Chains A and B, each alone.
Chain A
Amino acid sequence: MSDNRRTFRNPADESLVTKILLVGLTLVFLAFFLFLPLVSVFVEAFREGWVTYEEALVEPDAWAAIQLTLTVAAIAVPLNVIFGVAAAWAIAKFEFKGKAFLITLIDLPFSISPVISGLVYVLLFGSASVLGPWLKTYGIEILFAVPGIVLATVFVTFPFVARELIPLMQDQGTGDEEAALSLGASGWQTFWYVTLPNVKWGLLYGVLLCNARAMGEFGAVSVVSGRIRGLTNTMPLHVEILYNEYNMVAAFAVASLLALLALVTLALKTLLELRFGAGAAGGRH
């Protein structure tokens, strides 16, 4: 058999029927599972016109939810950028004991259910814990307040930046850094002028993913939020509440804004890719 295949066939050289079938199948799949649901969110949101849509978003509780979600993302994402870059740097550029364990630890939030991620903080800071009541005597609220929501979000989105950077940094090896060091750069200079610029596209991609998840997280946040309207309700929680109140238009209005934020994130990424060439986003991995 293999003798007959001495000349390699063009990999895309399938029969026309196969091509149409495969492309058609992909398009149908995309239309049904991605495009239609997304469109239906916007259709439902605008069913009663622009005025109702706007009213649903500036309603004080909805507006508070939007602000809270943006605040939480603004805290969680930078924190995870710092953690992620530091962790990836350590793992990719240095050899030390317990490295495999550290990698497993970073993956932990991916592998456990978000509900458990939330419950962990209930156990740590709840009334029955040691920490919670002690902090409370100093007036510090963690659980059922913004800090708890931030903590749960940081936990759930922890792997995104690190996971994006580790393969990229490992791929690049330590050659550039060694050159920089041998030319007399300090460790900090090496990191700032060599390592970081090398991974900036991977980093940006990690930040975008991290941000999308931080704004969209439901499970872990719902456990630690306490669902206080106008105070600890994030956008995803508010969508569920509105839906359960039979307030479909408002629910989908908030949902569409959430979807829009995700789309803007994607558009931003595509724009950067176009501007800086195909090799840019996603890095060199």
Chain B
Amino acid sequence: MLNFTDGIGKRLMAAALGVTLAAGSIAPAFAASQLLNVSYDPTRELYKDFNAAFQKHWKAEGGDDVTIRQSHGGSGAQARSVIDGLDADVVTLALESDINAIQKTGKIKEDWRTRLPNNASPYTSTIVFLVRKGNPKGIKNWGDLVKGDVQIVTPNPKTSGGARWNYLAAWAWANEEFKGDQDKIKAYISDLYKRAPVLDTGARGSTVTFAQRQIGDVLLAWENEAYLAGEEFGKDAFDIVVPPISILAEPPVAVVDSVVDAKGTRKVAEAYLQYLYSDEGQNIAAKHFYRPSKREVVKPELLKQLPDIKLVTIDDPLFGGWKKAQPEHFGDGGIFDQIYKPGAK
């Protein structure tokens, strides 16, 4: 009996020791030269490569041994964490509006979008189609998505950034096809979403639905996600179809001013983001199927997999920027709410 109570005493001592050890090991980790890059889901593989390249570059330039930590999640949720106090030195998110949300708290200065070239987007991406091997339904363009019994897989535009780009890309095609006839465009978008058997909450979820659970004939996906799925699930399982027209997505990056000033990491954080625009940074982005902003510095064989197509931007008068497009299309009672009724046939 006494042994047992002694055991508790020992256990408490061990625990106390554990606390001290843990506290001791955490403190220096924060003090060393370290960057935290808070990013969104599909960039994991990209930044794994890029971080290694930057560490080497920074050392060669006479810098110290910089460690770069990564945090990934849904773009909106990640912005929320930074607002709540996650000490990101740099944010590399999916949407301009997510960085704007952080900027509103004062953690990022207002001019962030002009501090780096190309609207602070070192790489861009677009929406393409991932279809089953051999393209059995003959899908080549946006119009083919609403032919016959084609079923599409896309995440929910209410919750997913990627899904909004899908929707806007379809809209951009329909606008050209129907010469701006609003009723015809809405009828097309409505038909499109009736063909989605399931709307996942995020882009990765949709990829898994299509690739692993084998649901649907075509996945509307980020170009880089489509290639990644091809690599992960075997190149003989899917084909990638790049439509002649799509949307230009510009995932932006920014230094979090309040954090780098407090930690004294501004110099290395700024160098880190600038290195994304370097020859090596651009080639790494292209290797991971992001469209480089400086095509001229990228190896031709990497560019071959990212064919030139017509890309409509969000700032096109058709959409009028995120500030206008967000409430108009995706807000409560917006166009998406009007045309999409779950379960309606």
Contact = CB atoms under 8 A, between A and B. Distances in A.
A132 B44 contact: no
B83 A227 contact: no
Interface in B1-56: 1-2, 4-5, 8, 11-12, 14-15, 18-19, 22, 26, 29-30, 36, 41, 44-45
B85 interface: yes
B70 interface: yes
A75 B22 CA distance: 10
Interface in B63-102: 69-73, 81, 83-87
Tell me if B's interface is mostly helix, strand, loop or mixed: helix
A211 to B, nearest CB: 11
A197 B4 contact: yes
A145 B26 contact: yes
Nearest to B9: A192
Nearest to A222: B73
B71 A229 contact: yes
Contact of A197 (B5, B14, B18): B5
Contacts of A143: 84-86
B26 A229 contact: no
B85 A228 contact: no
A244 B84 contact: no
A241 B41 CA distance: 9
Contacts of A126: 84-85
A230 B85 contact: no
Given A78-B12, A200-B4, A228 B26 contact: no
Contacts of A245: 44-45
A243 to B, nearest CB: 9
Tell me if A's interface is mostly helix, strand, loop or mixed: helix
A71 B23 CA distance: 10
Contacts of A75: 15, 18-19, 22
A284 to B, nearest CB: 15
A192 B5 contact: yes
Nearest to A143: B85
Contact of A229 (B19, B45, B70, B107): B70
A241 B72 contact: yes
Given A71-B22, A127-B83, A141-B30, A231 B1 contact: no
Interface string B227-253: 010001100000000000000000000
**Which of B12, B15, B30, B228 is most buried by chain A, counting CB atoms within 10 A of its CB?**
B15
B290 to A, nearest CB: 17
B69 A230 contact: yes
Nearest to A82: B12
A273 to B, nearest CB: 15
Contact of A127 (B26, B41, B105): B105
B1 A227 contact: no
Interface in A117-176: 122, 125-128, 132, 136, 141, 143-146
26 contacts: A71-B22, A74-B18, A78-B12, A81-B8, A81-B11, A122-B84, A127-B85, A127-B105, A128-B83, A128-B84, A132-B85, A143-B85, A144-B81, A144-B84, A146-B22, A192-B5, A196-B4, A196-B5, A197-B4, A197-B5, A200-B5, A226-B71, A227-B81, A229-B70, A230-B69, A231-B29
A-B CB proximity, top 5 nearest = A78-B15, A127-B85, A126-B84, A246-B232, A197-B1
Given A196-B4, A227-B72, 7 more contacts: A125-B85, A127-B84, A127-B105, A128-B84, A141-B87, A197-B1, A228-B71
